[in-house]
Amino acid sequence: MSSLNGEREFRINIAIDGPAGAGKSTVARKVARQLSYVYVDTGAMYRAVTWDMLNQAIDAENETAVLERMAALEVELVPGEDGQRVRLSGVDVTDEIRSLAVSRTVSRYAQIEGLRAKLSSAQRQMALRKGVVMDGRDIGTTVLPDAEVKIFMTATVEERARRRFRELPQSGETITLEQLEREIAERDSLDRSREVSPLVCADDATVLDTTHMTIDEVADAIAHLAEREIAQLG
């Protein structure tokens, strides 16, 4: 259904979950562009908080200190000309949060229940008006259990490491492909085994193994599912 100015009136929410390096963010961004929806990268929010905790030298073991600091932080995702920018209490940290130091520690902070509660609540707010493509680990299960389309994207750990290796920031930090593969496997294991909102496939999610698929193929498959849902519900 379309309004007079051509904008879609009926909008849905799309949840995309899966392990690190499955291609979620690239695909989610593309689907959002195709549907003129808003892309929400929830991993960036966990990364921004982790970056701050590392700067403040607050260890993930010290939950009280983490939550106290968390209460003073504001994480914002702001659409920018070259994609989404991440602001932490007003400071742009978009590039900083991709560092290896953050990637290596984020899963430890992401296990803290109070931290997850605060970020999940902010994420739900962003999806209230619908028209959101949100990617993460617990979107279809916990953050947006009513999302009209739920996708669980996977790929072999070898392929995911290769993809992440190609996207590593040119920051002078070095890591071998084998080391990256080990670190991704370790992060997956922490994300899957944590007590609060672990990485699991929602019962009603469509599973997409993207090992042998291109970004465009995955994005088209999701956009197709979304269009079908919009046509049925709208």
- Strand segments, DSSP code E, in the chain are 13-17, 38-41, 75-80, 83-88, 91-92, 132-136, 149-154, 206-209
Among 39, 136, 163, 219, binds ligand DC (CB under 6 A): 136
Binding mask 144-183 for ligand DC (x = CB under 6 A): ----------------------------------------
Closer of 107 and 210 to ligand DC (Cβ): 107
Q: Based on the shown chain and the rule CB under 6 A, indicate whether residue 107 belongs to the binding site for ligand DC.
A: yes
Q: 140 with 197: CB under 8 angstroms?
A: no
CA angle 184, 179, 19 (to 5 degrees): 10
The span of 1-9, 26-34, 42-50, 175-183 binding ligand DC (CB under 6 A) equals 42-50
| Interatomic CA distance for residues 76 and 79, integer angstroms | 10
Among 40, 110, 133, 153, binds ligand DC (CB under 6 A): 110
The span of 106-114, 124-132, 146-154, 215-223 binding ligand DC (CB under 6 A) equals 106-114
The span of 3-11, 131-139, 153-161, 171-179 binding ligand DC (CB under 6 A) equals 131-139
Among 49, 88, 106, 226, binds ligand DC (CB under 6 A): 106
SS3 of residue 10 by DSSP: coil
Q: 134 with 123: CB under 8 angstroms?
A: yes
Six-digit token string for 46: 């966990």
Q: Based on the shown chain and the rule CB under 6 A, indicate whether residue 141 belongs to the binding site for ligand DC.
A: no
Closer of 131 and 198 to ligand DC (Cβ): 198
Q: Based on the shown chain and the rule CB under 6 A, indicate whether residue 52 belongs to the binding site for ligand DC.
A: no
Closer of 140 and 223 to ligand DC (Cβ): 140
| Interatomic CA distance for residues 196 and 217, integer angstroms | 33
- Site size toward ligand DC (CB under 6 A) is 14
Strand-pair category, 149-154 with 91-92:
unpaired
Report CA-CA distances (Å) from 164 to 9, 14, 153, 167, 170.
37, 23, 15, 5, 12
- Rounded least distance, CB 227 to ligand DC, Å: 25
Please list, in sequence order, all residues whose beta carbon lies within 8 angstroms of the beta carbon of residue 169, skipping any fewer than 6 positions away: 95, 98, 99
Q: 42 with 121: CB under 8 angstroms?
A: no
Q: Based on the shown chain and the rule CB under 6 A, indicate whether residue 187 belongs to the binding site for ligand DC.
A: yes
The span of 38-46, 77-85, 87-95, 204-212 binding ligand DC (CB under 6 A) equals 38-46
Applying CB under 6 A, the residues found at the interface with ligand DC are: 20, 42-43, 46-47, 106-107, 110, 136-139, 187, 191
